Amino acid sequence: MPVSGHLELLADLGQAFASSLDVERTLQEAVARITRYLDAAGGALFLLDETGSTLTCVACSGDTQITGMSIGAESGIVGRCVRNNAGEIVRDVDCDPGFDRSVDKQTGYRTRSILCAPLSVKEQRVGAIELINKRDGDGLFEVSDLSLLQVLCAPAALAILNARMALALVEQERIKRELELAAEIQRGLLPPSQAPPFPIHGRNVPARTVSGDFFDFFALPDGRICFNLGDVSGKGMNAALLMVKAAGLYRCLGKTIYAPGALLGLINAEVCETATRGMFVTMVGGIYDPAADTVVIANAGHEPPLHHDRNGGFTPLPAEAPPLGIGVGLTPDEGYPETELHLAGGTLYLFSDGVTEGYARDGRPLAIEGLMQVLRENAELPLPARLDAVVARLDHGPGALRDDVTILGVDGGQG
Amino acid sequence: MEIQITDQEKAVVVAFAGDVDLESSPEARQALLACVDRKVPVLVDLSGVSYIDSSGVASLVEAFQAARKGGRAFALVAVSEATLRVLQLARLDKVFTIYETVEDGLDQAV
């Protein structure tokens, strides 16, 4: 065979792989051309599966039709070729103990000689192309045949890897779009901002696309306002899904049960029934009565809310019972302990640990002291601007947030 | 995060060291559940834990729930200050059985 013929075939195959949108069909055509060009009676292309345990024929040509057939990755000469990442000429399979006769038994075909070259890119093994039974001359493959097959395998291996990467990219893009849709739905679950003098405002900035934190508030018919803030263990989609459940339960039940402790007790029982993987929700639920300027809160294992009083002092309100979903610490009918607090013109802040554990610009955690300092420095600003100041201290650049940041304030003294 | 599993006569001690966070907690979870599966009392040594986030706590909760379901002892021992603060803040110190030292845990939980 003239070298010009080799080059022409190599150029053709390279071109076909580069321009192909259907890699399977191109591989099929390539195997047929290679089989013909090297004058073999049959040819087959085997690919390793993801686990590296099975070789499956995805394209074949000539005397044997074995497309779809799978063999163990260690089986036969093709397995050995992939394992060693080295091409082989086996002139007489009867003299090679590594030859696997099971394929011949299944097809009824008689294999005499084999030429096999691995499909790989650097050390990444993809599979192999195997040719059987040279037709002309003495019926034996030459060393030059192996060299040529190895050269032809290179663009095929690259094309297969490229096609896999393209598929992975498409899948990644699809997941990204779904996450963005989920985030949009999730943002829609947060309450719309109310114009002043409405006393309750909140902020939620997810560290990733979706959030495991939430807050909510809604007016009750008697003039009081129900509010909550919660944080689901972990981050990402699983946390976001449990967040939606807990927030939905609170909003629904909160419209008929005006006692935060009893409400958290009910949600706890519900979350316990379906919680998986040890996931739990820390949550503060409360009701603000503008007429009396008092709040009643119940705290299920959440960061202690802070009462910033008119004189500038801060009082934390620690949890007295564990988070929702743990299943221990409360009987099913038991409510969470409630605390009543007179705001006396001060402000009650509820926040997730993304606020206190988040990094400030100096690279150190903001911590509770840092949060109190921001609130003190901005005490004269309206509540929404105070909350924005806290968020700005943490969300100071791309990738700055290590956890979802959520904060809600209840401004007293409106009634 | 580092994990060390030591078989004692009547219990298995799983010791974690370093940060148990979103990145390392799946490995912590797997180790804990595998130990609970062995149907012996499990003591979790948290003396070397410098930071634990909620996903790490969830791994402890899941293993605790699995042990409880199977009626087997599960306790935290030698809990580092950083970890104890997180557990106390969430009132999870009321949920988990906690012993000051591994020896106390072996004496009392087993």
ipTM: 0.92
pLDDT (average), residues A65-71:
91
Q: Which CATH number does the domain B2-108 belong to among 3.40.720.10, 3.30.2320.30, 3.30.750.24, 2.60.40.1180?
A: 3.30.750.24
- Say what the pLDDT of residue A408 is: 98
- Say what the pLDDT of residue A76 is: 93
Pairing verdict, β A40-48 and A54-62: antiparallel
Taking residue A32's Cβ as centre, other Cβ atoms within 10 Å add up to 15
B91: nearest CA in chain A? Answer: A322
Suggest the residue from B92, B96, B97 to mutate for an interface test with chain A (most A CBs closer than 10 A). Answer: B92
Question: If contacts are CB pairs under 8 Å, which of residues 306-325 in chain A contact chain B?
Answer: 318-323
Pairing verdict, β B12-20 and B2-7: antiparallel
Peptide linkage before A191 cis (omega within 30 of 0): no
Domain ranges of chain B: 2-108
Residue A406: its H or E element:
strand A405-411
Chain B closest CA to A233's CA: distance in Å? Answer: 5
Q: Is A366 on the interface with B (CB under 8 A)?
A: no
Domain ranges of chain A: 3-168, 191-411
A276: nearest CA in chain B? Answer: B62
Using CA atoms, how far apart are residues A247 and B55, in angstroms rounded to an integer?
20
A415: pLDDT strictly greater than 50: no
- Say what the pLDDT of residue A21 is: 74
- Say what the pLDDT of residue A332 is: 61
CA distances from A287 to A216, A266, A293, B23 (A): 11, 16, 11, 37
Instruction: Give the tens place of pLDDT for each residue, A170-226.
Output: 999 999 999 999 999 999 999 999 998 899 999 999 988 899 999 999 999 999 999
A278: pLDDT strictly greater than 70: yes
Which of A143-147, A250-254, A275-279 shows the lowest per-residue confidence on average (mean pLDDT)? Answer: A275-279
Q: Which of A414, A409, A374, A410 lies closest to A394 in space, CA to CA?
A: A374
A162: pLDDT strictly greater than 60: yes
- Say what the pLDDT of residue A86 is: 94
Backbone angles phi, psi at A335, to 5 degrees: -85, 170
Instruction: Give the tens place of pLDDT for each residue, A357-393.
Output: 999 989 999 999 999 999 999 999 999 999 999 999 9
What CATH topology corresponds to A191-411?
A: Phosphatase 2c; domain 1 (3.60.40)
* Average pLDDT along chain A: 92
Q: Which residue positions in chain B have pLDDT lower than 50?
A: none
Three-state DSSP class for A390? helix
Q: Which two tokens stand for residue A365?
A: 């955690």
A146: pLDDT strictly greater than 60: yes
Q: Is A233 on the interface with B (CB under 8 A)?
A: yes
Confidence of residue A329 (pLDDT cuts 50, 70, 90): low
Instruction: Give the tens place of pLDDT for each residue, A107-118.
Output: 888 999 999 999
Show residues of chain B in contact with A211, CB under 8 Å. none
Backbone angles phi, psi at A238, to 5 degrees: -65, -40
Judge residue A167's burial from the number of C-beta atoms within 10 Å of its C-beta, 0-12 exposed, 13-18 middle, 19 or more buried.
Answer: exposed
Q: Which two tokens stand for residue A55?
A: 């070789």
Q: How is domain A3-168 classified at the architecture level of CATH? A: 2-Layer Sandwich (3.30)
Q: Which of B66, B79, B3, B6 lies closest to B33 in space, CA to CA?
A: B66
Chain A closest CA to B106's CA: distance in Å? Answer: 23
Confidence of residue A63 (pLDDT cuts 50, 70, 90): confident
Show residues of chain B in contact with A231, CB under 8 Å. 54
Q: Give the rounded distance of the alpha carbon of A79 from its chain centre.
A: 34
Euclidean distance between the first and the last CA atom of chain B, given in angstroms as a whole number: 27
Of A280, A302, A319, the CB nearest to B61: A280
Q: Is B65 on the interface with A (CB under 8 A)?
A: yes
- Say what the pLDDT of residue A65 is: 87
Confidence of residue A10 (pLDDT cuts 50, 70, 90): confident
B90 and A323 in contact by Cβ < 8 A? Answer: yes
Of A234, A235, A321, the CB nearest to B91: A321
A322 and B64 in contact by Cβ < 8 A? Answer: no
- Say what the pLDDT of residue A128 is: 96
Using CA atoms, how far apart are residues A394 and A285, in angstroms rounded to an integer?
25
Show residues of chain A in contact with B51, CB under 8 Å. none
pLDDT (average), residues A98-106:
89
Using CA atoms, how far apart are residues B50 and A172, in angstroms rounded to an integer?
35
Confidence of residue A1 (pLDDT cuts 50, 70, 90): low
Beta strands per DSSP E along chain B: 2-7, 12-20, 42-52, 74-77, 97-99
Q: Which of B11, B29, B20 lies closest to B48 in space, CA to CA?
A: B20
Residue B67: its H or E element:
helix B54-69
Beta strands per DSSP E along A146-268: 200-205, 213-219, 225-232
- Say what the pLDDT of residue A103 is: 86
Q: Which of A76, A68, A73 lies closest to A130 in space, CA to CA?
A: A76
Q: Which two tokens stand for residue B26?
A: 């799946």
Using CA atoms, how far apart are residues A87 and A81, in angstroms rounded to an integer?
6
Quick one: what percent of chain A has pLDDT higher than 90?
74
Q: Give the rounded distance of the alpha carbon of A363 from its chain centre.
A: 27
A281: nearest CA in chain B? Answer: B54
Confidence of residue A8 (pLDDT cuts 50, 70, 90): confident
